[in-house]
């Protein structure tokens, strides 16, 4: 037997950290709201919006993600009026209620998946034929988070 050639060693930990950082960069490049921009969309005051956002997040009904020194509200989960899309509520409650990291939830909901025929789970939820499948996948994922 020959000794292993260290030129081909891969630092898997670093590879995963790099992949996560790249994914975070991609996610932050997608539309999101600050408290101020969401208040404008909702037509409410900044204080009222901040209160409503935090209350919804505490109830696991809204995904808030810490980005640097602020918190962002990913726009994919909102309708045109700034309310949480009703079809997402059961899935958000499952994932966030299980204690899933908000970055991981954002990625899982918005990245294309084979399970959903190449669509992101949040998109697949708009298809009545895919709703049960996405919810079932969210249940299984939440079980692994706990």
73 beta partners:
33
Handedness of CA 69, 112, 108, 74 (dihedral sign): positive
**Nearest partner of 32 among 90, 59, 81, 71, judged by Cα:** 71
* Tens-level pLDDT at each residue, the chain (146 residues): 556 666 777 777 766 676 778 778 899 999 999 999 999 999 999 999 999 999 999 999 999 999 989 999 999 999 999 999 999 999 999 999 999 999 999 999 999 999 888 999 999 999 999 999 999 999 999 999 87
pTM of the model: 0.85
Domain extents in the chain: 11-145
Q: Which residues contact 73 (CB under 8 A, 6 or more apart)?
A: 32, 33, 34, 35, 38, 53, 62, 63, 64, 65
Determine the Cα–Cα distance for residues 30 and 74; give it in Å rounded to an integer.
8
- SS3 assignment, position 107: helix
């Amino acid at each position: 037997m020959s000794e292993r050639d260290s030129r081909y060693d891969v630092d898997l930990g670093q590879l995963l950290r790099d992949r996560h950082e790249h994914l975070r960069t991609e996610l932050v490049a997608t539309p999101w709201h600050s408290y101020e921009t969401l208040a404008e969309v909702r037509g409410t005051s900044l204080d009222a919006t901040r209160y409503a956002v935090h209350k919804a997040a505490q109830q696991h009904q809204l995904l808030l993600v810490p980005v640097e020194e602020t918190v962002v509200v990913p726009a994919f989960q909102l309708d045109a009026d700034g309310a949480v899309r009703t079809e997402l509520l059961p899935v958000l409650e499952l994932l966030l209620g299980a204690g899933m990291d908000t970055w991981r939830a954002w990625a899982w909901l918005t990245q294309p998946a084979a399970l959903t025929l190449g669509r992101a789970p949040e998109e697949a939820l708009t298809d009545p034929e895919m709703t049960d499948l996405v919810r079932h996948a969210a249940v299984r994922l939440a079980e692994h988070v706990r």
